[in-house]
Amino acid sequence: MNTISSLLDKIERAKELDFGTIFGESIELFKKTWLQGFLLQLFTLIVMLPLIIVLYAPFIGMIIAQQESGYGDNEVFKDFFAGMSILYVLVVIVGVFVLGTISVALNAAFYRIVKKLDYDEQVITSDFFYFIKGKYLSKVFILMLASFGIGILAAILCYLPIIYVMVPLSYFALIFAFNPELSVGEVVKASFKLGNKKWLLTFGLIIVASLLAQIVGFLLCGIGTLFTATFVYHPIYLIYKNVVGFEENDAIEEIGTASE
């Protein structure tokens, strides 16, 4: 386990990383993880389905009512919005936060799965739900709120800061995944430290990986994005691996070296 001081020290002493090397390794690692990435997308869709139903069911009813009274009837829209209760709005807001928390927990678990596959370890389906436990969910919830708050603040500041904060924000789930013992404040601090240290490299890899995932997904008739969308996770994971590393694997390597 990394303490916050050792984690920040490793980030501070990070070596230079090559864009092409990280990108090439991302492609090779993706070949091992594409199926689990597809499962992540399916689980995320399943989690989001109840919220989608709650959001769109009233609109479907409004459309049906409009068809019955004519497409030009603006009273249907007025009656619909006037009839929206505070309870409905609250249910939607709570649903967004709850499902957002589960989504962050799934993403964090996926990074652990990527690491297992990277080191040729066995992966089981329950690994996806590693952080959907009482001892982790409260911390994941606060981390999700922190991400939301930082994003909103960046948007208020004329949107340009979003370009900057998107890099540190991309490390939130990753830092938490491998350092769940850290407090939320420490996760945020480490994420911004790593994001600042490797901002240009991370930003470039995110953009290129996202474009490649979208292009390949489009070529596969759109549905391919379910398989390629998680490609963007891989360069971020590899940057963390090269900068911070994993102590248990480092210890094993040291033992192996000493025995030779």
Provide the residue range defining the domain that includes 12: 4-252
pLDDT of residue 255: 39
- Residue 257 inside a domain? The answer is no
Contact 111, 173 (CB under 8 A): yes
CA proximity to 112, closest of 178, 173, 35 = 178
Residue 156, judged by CB atoms within 10 A of its CB (0-12, 13-18, 19+), counts as exposed
Q: How far, in Å, CA of 242 to CA of 82, rounded?
A: 55
Q: Enumerate residues 6+ apart whose C-beta is below 8 A from 251.
A: none
Contact 119, 56 (CB under 8 A): no
- Residue 14 inside a domain? The answer is yes
At residue 253 the predicted structure's pLDDT band, cuts being 50, 70 and 90, is: very low
- Tell me which amino acid residue 49 is: L
Count the residues in the chain: 260
- Residue 31 inside a domain? The answer is yes
Q: How far, in Å, CA of 51 to CA of 67, rounded?
A: 25
- Residue 64 inside a domain? The answer is yes
CA proximity to 242, closest of 194, 210, 196 = 194
Question: What average pLDDT does this structure show over 233-259?
Answer: 72
pLDDT of residue 158: 76
Residue 72 scores a pLDDT above 80: no
Long-range contacts of 145-151 (CB under 8 A, 24+ apart): 145/97, 146/172, 146/184, 146/188, 147/104, 147/172, 148/100
At residue 254 the predicted structure's pLDDT band, cuts being 50, 70 and 90, is: very low
Model-level pTM? 0.85
pLDDT of residue 217: 87
Residue 61 scores a pLDDT above 60: yes
DSSP states of 2-15 as a string? --HHHHHHHHHTPP
- Sign of the C-alpha dihedral, residues 131, 136, 141, 145? negative
Question: What average pLDDT does this structure show over 176-187?
Answer: 95
Question: What average pLDDT does this structure show over 31-48?
Answer: 93
pLDDT of residue 257: 35
- Residue 153 inside a domain? The answer is yes
Q: How many domains does the chain divide into?
A: 1
- Sign of the C-alpha dihedral, residues 143, 144, 145, 149? positive
Distances from the Cα of 259 to the Cα of 120, 180, 189, 225, angstroms: 22, 32, 38, 46
Mean confidence (pLDDT) of the chain: 86
- Residue 260 inside a domain? The answer is no
| Share of residues in the chain with pLDDT > 90 (%) | 62
- Residue 82 inside a domain? The answer is yes
| Share of residues in the chain with pLDDT > 70 (%) | 83
